[in-house]
Amino acid sequence: MNAVKRFREYIKNKEVLFAPGVHDCVTAKIAEKVGHQAIYMGGFATSAAIYGKPDVGLVTITEMLAHARNIAGSVNIPVFADADTGHGNPINVRRTIQEYEKAGVAGVHMEDQTHPKKCGNMPDRHVVPIREMVEKIHAAVDARINADFVIAVRSDSYLDCGLNELLDRGHAYAEAGADVFWPLLYNCKSRDEMKKVGASFNIPLMASLVNYSATAYIDIPEYAAMGYRVIISPFGALQAAAPVIMALMKEMKETGSLKRYADRLMAFDDLTDLLGLPEIKALERKYGIN
């Protein structure tokens, strides 16, 4: 079964799917190696990895697609990718969906922000009218070639518009054809609001593991109990890697040595194994390459 079909099956069943966020191909291969069923490529991590910039709409569709293509090509598990606002109006959305399909990802999510978008956790976000987003969803559904390609839609309307509008948008987006709805609730007032949203939809709901805001450290079992079935960690790996790399850089600057890190560095052979060197060597033997 190909990755797109597998991801659709994960979405269709009643179990919870967790897709850790990855910011590069090495992180993707690590996620696959430890046994994750799928991975997530988000806009924040992509902007950080390829630009060293915050997620404020600087990354173009071309750059997002190139990053998605590289990550999808590095693993055999489904890749779920961030398609931002769809990169324009419904006509642009059609191309966005088709290009992501060609890039080899198994599904995408779009959000109802105005353009240029910002990370959903940042202030000063604004949303487009419901009708405008509904037409973009119609375009996305019409554009996909493979019916198994998953289209998720996020609403960032809670902060400015409140819970009732978030619910209205979610139902409108589901009716328009969204396979998954992501209600952005980082600033929710209570777990009761999250539970109300969780009980209000028949399509799978999405949420994320973060270490800040009102949803800090809600774990997968708790999300599942509230009715959420597609869980990601947008930049947990990046947040974990950054301080480790910073400490290593300081150590090398101050001591000129890696010795203190001897027990924390992956062995070179283990690193090349992770990157697929044994498979390359096997192909060299097959084709008589010395």
First-to-last alpha carbon distance for the chain, in angstroms, is: 35
Question: Closest by alpha carbon to 41, among 23, 56, 25?
Answer: 23
Spatial CB neighbours of 169, under 8 Å, sequence gap ≥ 6: 112, 130, 133, 155, 157
Give the helix/strand (H/E) hosting 207.
strand 206-208
DSSP 17: E
- Find the catalytic residue in 25, 119, 161, 188: 119
Q: Kindly state the tokens that stand for 222.
A: 């708790």
CA dist., res. 75 & res. 219, Å (int): 26
Asked whether the CA dihedral 85, 206, 106, 63 is positive or negative, the reply is positive
Classify residue 62 by its DSSP letter. H
Give the separation between CA 223 and CA 16, rounded to whole angstroms. Answer: 9
**For 242, left (φ over 0), alpha (ψ -120 to 50), or beta?**
alpha
Q: How far apart are CA 26 and CA 142, in angstroms?
A: 34
Specify whether 188 is catalytic.
no
* Catalytic residue ranges: 119
